[in-house]
Amino acid sequence: MSLEENLERYQRFFARAEASPFYWHEFAVTQFTEDLWRLMEEKKVSRAELARRIGSSRAYITKLLGGNANFTLMTMVKLALALDGALFIHIADRRADVRWQEEMPGKLTGLEEPNLGKPRVKRGRRRKAENG
């Protein structure tokens, strides 16, 4: 098989995968667990401490961090709050490259709402692999 044929097969494979809800479910679980790990490291919170904060076991936290649990929105909210975070849910075009832009609120005046972060959407295809 030529390089072009292999590339075309690879692209068809990804197109079929991206059409599946299971692909997007795993993508969301991966994103959430990566964010959870990052916050735990930033705040120096162990699995045991996180388990204590949400009234669970260390084994359950290990299962969650491995992506081997069925996440409910309530569980995700509890985990985020236990790390002094918040859960944001949004829907974007699946071809968009969406990244959160961190913005910490400054000194508030009057009844302004703090801008805790907002999604920045860039149109175009999501990167599938690093291109050296």
Residues 38 and 95 in one domain: no
Residues 36 and 65 in one domain: yes
Number of domains into which the chain is organized: 2
Residues 77 and 107 in one domain: no
Residues 59 and 43 in one domain: yes
Is 14 domain-assigned? yes
Q: Is residue 72 left, alpha or beta, with left meaning phi > 0 and alpha meaning psi from -120 to 50?
A: beta
pLDDT tens-digit profile, the chain (132 residues): 888 988 899 899 888 888 899 988 888 899 999 999 999 999 999 999 999 999 999 999 999 998 888 889 999 999 999 999 999 888 888 788 877 776 655 544 444 454 445 555 444 444 444 443
Cβ-based neighbour number of residue 53 at 10 Å = 15
Range of the domain at 11: 3-86
Residues 17 and 36 in one domain: yes
Residues 55 and 17 in one domain: yes
Specify the CATH number for the domain of residue 67. Answer: 1.10.260.40
Residues 97 and 62 in one domain: no
Residues 70 and 102 in one domain: no
Is 132 domain-assigned? no
